[in-house]
Structure 1
Amino acid sequence: MATSRVTKRPDFVLVVKEKNLPFLEQYFNNLRALGLDFANEPGQTVDLIFIKVFISKEALAHFSELYEIGRGESRVTTVFYTEVIFRHIFPTPLSDMPLDNSLERTEADNIMIVDKVLQNARYGSKDTEFGLSNLISMGIVETGYPLHDGSIEQDGMNIRSKLYRHWSNLRVTHMEQPLDLIFRYFGNEVAFYFAWFDYFNIMLVLPSILGALVVLAGLIYVALANPAEVREICETSEVLCPVCEGWPGCRYKEIQKFCALAHWSYVFDNNFTIAFAVFMTFWCTLFITLWRRKENTLMMRWNCENVVEETQIRQAYLASTTHQRPNGITGEMEPYVPKICIVLKYSVTIAACTILLAIILLAVIIVMVLKILFTEMCQASENLYLRSHSRLLTMILGSAVQVTVIKIFQLLYRPASIRLTEFENPRTQVDFDNSVLYKKYLLSFMNNYIPVIYLAFVKGKVTTLPHHMNFLTKDSCQPINCVVSLCIQLTFIMTVKTFLGNVFNVVFTKAKLCLRFFSKRYAKRHDRYHPSREDLPQWEKEYYLEPLTRYFVLSEFSEMGIKYHDIYWVGFLCFPSHTDEI
């Protein structure tokens, strides 16, 4: 393939093995006919060819109109377009930077256009032989990616460095987000995610303050009023049948030993929490209403009210479909899947999702069994500390194990939802994305909230007579209610899971990035000179960056939705619970 001498920054980069270049000749010829140009660069640290892709301005304008990607004509005034939507108390130098109305396309739009062209170009004579995704899946092309607009070390010289200094930096976490610049550089999907994240954190300020005041009021009320519910536990001389019946060394436990838990139970389960629960129900409704207002404002500001959905038939659908029928409108022959095949595939998917939900439920039962065994071991122990704090230790340990199980299942159901959707093989990309979203959200919701539902509505509801306990009735909240256990579980889900997940993502990504660079750097052993990462050209340096999957932002949106439901559950479960009868 001839090499062009082009000095501007590439619009896209394809990474190919040299032996595969002859297979791509027709693909590149078709792309040249569409207005694209190429330049080859051998890799300095890997035995690969980096093909820089350039698109002309005329071709960019043509495909922008063809694919309906770009700003088009704005229906809003310039005054509205440049105004600040929500003024924060900590603005950054990028806060007042107006969105340039003269630009027909943003950097993200240009990348989408080039990607569309690469995905639709033919590399063979058959109808199914087209698209960069097929070339990557067949191993002819290693990977393909767009380039950033420069290095982060070029302070203020490009959008990437500006965002790194004034946005993607721990020192400016408290400052206003430059949403317009994020939209211009990353596109509307990423920009709306951070707009939601920003709005979510601001709206949580008032519930956080009121929640702290409710807890403080509960502490003061318990300390001064000494309510009857607490006195019944702290002043009784009765004993409780132990869970560890049948174990050597098992003793009856005085109910007074639960006095501390009774105090904390009333702190989180009193008359003040009724008002807080009512407030949270109104807050959730107000939250959605105000977010829709902000979302509509941003959609008008960024001129993306009418997003064009990807209704083009998927390549995988074309490749696997053997039946054809005439289109009812155009009369042309088009592929289709018989209804019986669709029903069978969806039946398999429903069965697989049911099995995954059953596995999640089984994990909850296993954790329950472990908690019962741990409680029995503690109560039958000779250690005074374990016997005295067996209930609290069981709550904390059970919540920690449950959160660990939730994180492990996240690694299971995310790829499973994609694999099941690939088996269904929807016709268009929109149908494919929606199907993945539904599965991910369903499995994520049940994974997070089956343990909470069990604690709130099932645990402790099955009672029996003394000395007649079975394994199920041993898992109870007696002699107090399950409020403390529920609070610990929600605390682990809302804080520890999120914190550990973020730490793991950062550490894992950094470690994988370093391992990927050094493993491929020394793969080219015949070279005497191995340049450092800083000396590499931009296209090879960014080859070692972590690839962004298609559903990365979708997964983050799903997690934020789950966090919103966490707040909803806090309000829903704040209504006082009745203490289980002894």
Structure 2
Amino acid sequence: MFQKRKQRREYFEASLMKMGMELEAARSVVDEKLLFVKVHMPWDMLCTYAEVLHIKMPIQPNDLSTTSSTFNFLSCITKHFYPSEDLIAKETEYFTAPFEKDRLEYFYVKDRDLFFTPSMRSRMAYYILSRAPYEVRGNIKKFGVTKLLDGGVYKAAYPLHDVSGKDECPNERYLLYNEWAHPKSFYKMQPLDLIRKYYGEKIGIYFAWLGFYTAMLALAAIVGLACFIYGYMTQETSTWSKEVCDPLIGGNIVMCPQCDKECTYWRLNSTCESSKKLCIFDNYGTLVFAVFMAIWVTVFLEFWKRYQAELEYEWDTVEFLEQEEQPRPEYEAKCNHERINPVTRVRKMCSSHMSDPSNSCVCACVQIVLILASVVAIIVYRLAVFFSFSTRLQSDLKELEPFKEYVTAQMATSVTASIISFVVIMVLNILYERVAIWITDFELPRTKTDYENSLTLKMFLFQFVNYYSSCFYIAFVKGKVVGYPGQPVYLLGKYRNEECDPGGCLIELTTQLTVIMGGKAIWNNIQEVLLWMKNLIFRYCTRVGSEKVIPRWEQDYQLQPIGKLGLFYEYLEMVIQFGFVTLFVASFPLAPVLALVNNLFEIRVDAWKIITQFRRMVPEKAQDIGAWQPILQGVAILAVASNAMIIAFTSDMIPRLVYYWSFSVYPYGDHSSHTMQGYINNTLSVFDIQDFSNKSRYRDFRYPPGHHRQYEYSIYYWHVIAAKMAFIIVVEHIVYLTKFVLSYVIPDVPYTVREQIKREKYLSQVILHETNLKLVTKRLKPVADKILKHNEDKEEEIMDLHF
């Protein structure tokens, strides 16, 4: 095995030198058994492969006038929120064209050392490394450094970071750290052009998207915070909370027990504090905020498309030609027959392995069923703990506060169930990540892009069900099928189905979202700290004497590898957060605030990680955020229906509006005036009990005992149901119509960008393509003159003969 690896390594390095690369070997300072092979690309080779990869290079500065911004008068203030121009100068805009080595004089070359950016150099080097052969057996040629890494021939392959430059001429890595990743620069805008220049477009587009998303969250956070403040200020003056707390109203309303045998009757005013807290999140401001967020998500996606189009032009990815991806090593390992490529007509090895899609679907369904089983387990836990708490608190608090045990049990059950649910989610995440990778590996995608797209859809599906299933249960299932005191509904034949607080399940949904969002952010920060400690310990264990200087390539080797999936987990984390912000924002107006605070740290932490903790990534081209774009659009569409249904079925907003406009008038006189007085009593139904002196109440809209339709749904119930359905239909149609109008009004590509693209194509044609005509004309001119002279001589001879 050792000899085979050595032969492959020698053949591979010989192939690289044959292709024009310069290799240099260096022994490790820390471990003498470790040998580093440094790869250099001379200028001529850079020019050759820049043409092969169709890399666009500048041909002349942009001469189109730019429109001045309306907010230029604020530049004296906004300049403090941008990186220092003394360190990171604003880059000159150029018109570009695909590089052609034979026409180098037509390109804007000021300095050969700076003509190709570091990301371009690294991409060209990796292109060669991925295509250099390392073994030839008959007609079969094996190539690519990726396969050598997987086979253990090499331990790692990575571009080098810039050396530390803190002096008069700081390098790009130091500038990025100082002006971007350092905590003191948390308030500054990101130097996206420098990020793209150093790390490539794929990294740049991620941070551009994250920064744009965070900036848009600022507007949503302001409106959400205003909604929260409004609810907090009005909780004491809210009519329904005042009626619950009133000892003459809520104190005289006796409620039915929440469980059989052990639970006791309780008075409505025992939920006074929870009713006030509910008013913070369930008020008219929440209704406005839910509609606002439905519009916000549309504006966010539409303006991101525009911003993305600008970046595509500025970063020359509008029409870049994606080279044919090489097959993954795992795919080629199972190649057992040849096939002719219908495009290139070249014979290539391919795999006859065909995964059965039904197997993947079965595996995915099994995992989703497991998630739903965990949700059912949490429901059983809620019922059992509520029963236990109610029994214990009844005996402990009977003498002190006779009717407080219900509130305490309900709160304790909600909080502990949310924490347990979060722990289960974190544990299942580890399991489902491995399952998703296993299923994708079983499908055997041919290329890395196919692999990432397939894994993205599976991981998001699992994460979606895992994170959101408990929230959907609380929002749309809990308390909806409980029957009434005479005929309760039982779960598993033992536990009475869960009921909501008299004010609804909204406060519990808010608790669930707070625990999951907050817990997830804390867990992610813990992981970042563990990564830093891991690197710190590794460096301490591999330190050498102070007389030895560790070179740059060895310092980079001591850093963490970025991983095969790159930024996949960073995208996944943000998209899951996007779901929390949009899908359930009607129940938690502070979700955008929490997301904004988290993302302000996330940007800098991610920047700090890739600059100081990870090896430099191989730059890649990217036009957009890939498979995440349709996922975001799908979440945005679902968010409209989700929030409309939360307002209709989870919130108490619609019953209040129905009561206010249809069933309430001042008791004396003016029937055109409406009031919310008596609302609480109207939402409760009466149940007759023989062993109690008064009637007890329960949350429902049913006719009272003695009515000819007793315990059947009342007319008020059908009014509320009709109003809820009408609300959902109207809101969805209004929001979707608004989304359509905004999509039509806001073009995906700005007008200025379209003009610049046209100008660039024109210049490319004039400067480069018309040059061919001049060269052809120059070459054919002697021949044309000779033919012309010959024709003139012929004419003279004919004239002489004629005369």
Q: Which TM bucket (shorter chain)?
A: 0.7 to 0.9
Give the Cα separation in 1 of the matches to 2:372 and 2:431: 15
Provide the aligned length of Structure 1 versus Structure 2. 550
Alpha-carbon distance, 1:413 to partner = 3.2
TM-score normalised according to structure 2 size: 0.63
Partner amino acid, structure 2, of 1:114: A
Alpha-carbon distance, 1:49 to partner = 1.3
Quote the residue 2:670 is aligned against: none
Q: 2:575 aligns with which of 543, 561, 566?
A: 561
Quote the residue 1:6 is aligned against: none
Instruction: Report the 3-state secondary structure (helix = DSSP H, G, I; strand = E; otherwise coil) of the residue aligned with 1:183.
Output: helix
**Cα shift readout 1:324-374 (whole Å, capped 9, x = no counterpart):** 333445544334455xx53x4322222222222222222222222333332
Contact 1:311 1:430 (C-alpha < 8 Å) held by counterparts: no
Contact 1:311 1:429 (C-alpha < 8 Å) held by counterparts: no
Give the Cα separation in 2 of the matches to 1:311 and 1:282: 40
Quote the residue 2:35 is aligned against: 49
Contact 1:479 1:581 (C-alpha < 8 Å) held by counterparts: no
**Cα shift readout 1:435-464 (whole Å, capped 9, x = no counterpart):** 122222222222221122111111111213
Give the Cα separation in 2 of the matches to 1:318 and 1:84: 54
Quote the residue 2:450 is aligned against: 431
Alpha-carbon distance, 1:82 to partner = 13
Partner amino acid, structure 2, of 1:542: D
Give the Cα separation in 2 of the matches to 1:84 and 1:540: 47
CA 1:121–1:156: 2 relative to 1, 3 Å = same
Unaligned runs of 5+ in 2: 95-107, 109-113, 398-403, 587-641, 653-682, 684-698, 702-803
| TM alignment of 1:197-236, pairs within 5 A | 197-227=210-240, 231=244, 234-236=250-252
Instruction: Report the 3-state secondary structure (helix = DSSP H, G, I; strand = E; otherwise coil) of the residue aligned with 1:389.
Output: helix
Give the Cα separation in 1 of the matches to 2:181 and 2:318: 27
CA 1:39–1:331: 2 relative to 1, 3 Å = closer
Matched, 1:541 2:555: yes
Matched, 1:506 2:538: no
Contact 2:331 2:446 (C-alpha < 8 Å) held by counterparts: yes
Matched, 1:496 2:519: yes
Give the Cα separation in 1 of the matches to 2:53 and 2:436: 29
Give the Cα separation in 1 of the matches to 2:576 and 2:508: 20
Give the Cα separation in 2 of the matches to 1:534 and 1:480: 70
Quote the residue 2:177 is aligned against: 164
Alpha-carbon distance, 1:161 to partner = 0.7
Partner amino acid, structure 2, of 1:513: N
| TM alignment of 1:67-466, pairs within 5 A | 67-68=53-54, 70-72=55-57, 77=62, 88=78, 90-94=81-85, 97-99=89-91, 101=94, 104-126=115-137, 127=140, 129-151=142-164, 157-227=170-240, 231=244, 234-243=250-259, 245=260, 250-309=263-322, 311-314=324-327, 315-337=329-351, 341-342=353-354, 344-382=355-393, 383-384=396-397, 388-466=407-485
**Cα shift readout 1:186-236 (whole Å, capped 9, x = no counterpart):** 111111111122212221222222222222222333322423795398444
Alpha-carbon distance, 1:163 to partner = 0.9
Give the Cα separation in 2 of the matches to 1:310 and 1:258: 65
Give the Cα separation in 2 of the matches to 1:394 and 1:533: 62
- Answer with 1 or 2: which has the greater Rg: 2
Greater shift in the superposed pair: 407-416 or 371-380: 407-416
Quote the residue 1:531 is aligned against: 545
Give the Cα separation in 2 of the matches to 1:428 and 1:189: 17
CA 1:60–1:137: 2 relative to 1, 3 Å = same
Contact 2:241 2:276 (C-alpha < 8 Å) held by counterparts: no
Alpha-carbon distance, 1:549 to partner = 1.6
Identity of aligned residues (%): 26
Partner amino acid, structure 1, of 2:481: V
Instruction: Report the 3-state secondary structure (helix = DSSP H, G, I; strand = E; otherwise coil) of the residue aligned with 2:134.
Output: coil
Instruction: Report the 3-state secondary structure (helix = DSSP H, G, I; strand = E; otherwise coil) of the residue aligned with 1:375.
Output: helix
Contact 1:381 1:387 (C-alpha < 8 Å) held by counterparts: no
Give the Cα separation in 1 of the matches to 2:409 and 2:17: 73
Instruction: Report the 3-state secondary structure (helix = DSSP H, G, I; strand = E; otherwise coil) of the residue aligned with 2:311.
Output: helix
Give the Cα separation in 2 of the matches to 1:234 and 1:169: 56
CA 1:163–1:195: 2 relative to 1, 3 Å = same
Q: 2:17 aligns with which of 23, 32, 45?
A: 32
Contact 1:153 1:161 (C-alpha < 8 Å) held by counterparts: yes
CA 1:104–1:171: 2 relative to 1, 3 Å = same
Contact 2:336 2:349 (C-alpha < 8 Å) held by counterparts: yes
Instruction: Report the 3-state secondary structure (helix = DSSP H, G, I; strand = E; otherwise coil) of the residue aligned with 1:223.
Output: coil
Quote the residue 2:691 is aligned against: none
Quote the residue 1:470 is aligned against: 490
**Cα shift readout 1:419-443 (whole Å, capped 9, x = no counterpart):** 3222211223332222122222222
Instruction: Report the 3-state secondary structure (helix = DSSP H, G, I; strand = E; otherwise coil) of the residue aligned with 1:546.
Output: coil
Quote the residue 1:12 is aligned against: none
Greater shift in the superposed pair: 139-148 or 549-558: 549-558
Give the Cα separation in 2 of the matches to 1:217 and 1:376: 36
Quote the residue 2:99 is aligned against: none
Instruction: Report the 3-state secondary structure (helix = DSSP H, G, I; strand = E; otherwise coil) of the residue aligned with 2:333.
Output: helix
Alpha-carbon distance, 1:54 to partner = 1.6
Matched, 1:66 2:77: no
Contact 1:230 1:266 (C-alpha < 8 Å) held by counterparts: no
Alpha-carbon distance, 1:40 to partner = 2.0
CA 1:351–1:129: 2 relative to 1, 3 Å = same
Give the Cα separation in 1 of the matches to 2:60 and 2:278: 56
Contact 1:230 1:262 (C-alpha < 8 Å) held by counterparts: no
Give the Cα separation in 1 of the matches to 2:563 and 2:273: 49
Partner amino acid, structure 1, of 2:524: N
Alpha-carbon distance, 1:85 to partner = 13
**Cα shift readout 1:500-531 (whole Å, capped 9, x = no counterpart):** 1331222110122133334556xxxxxxxx33
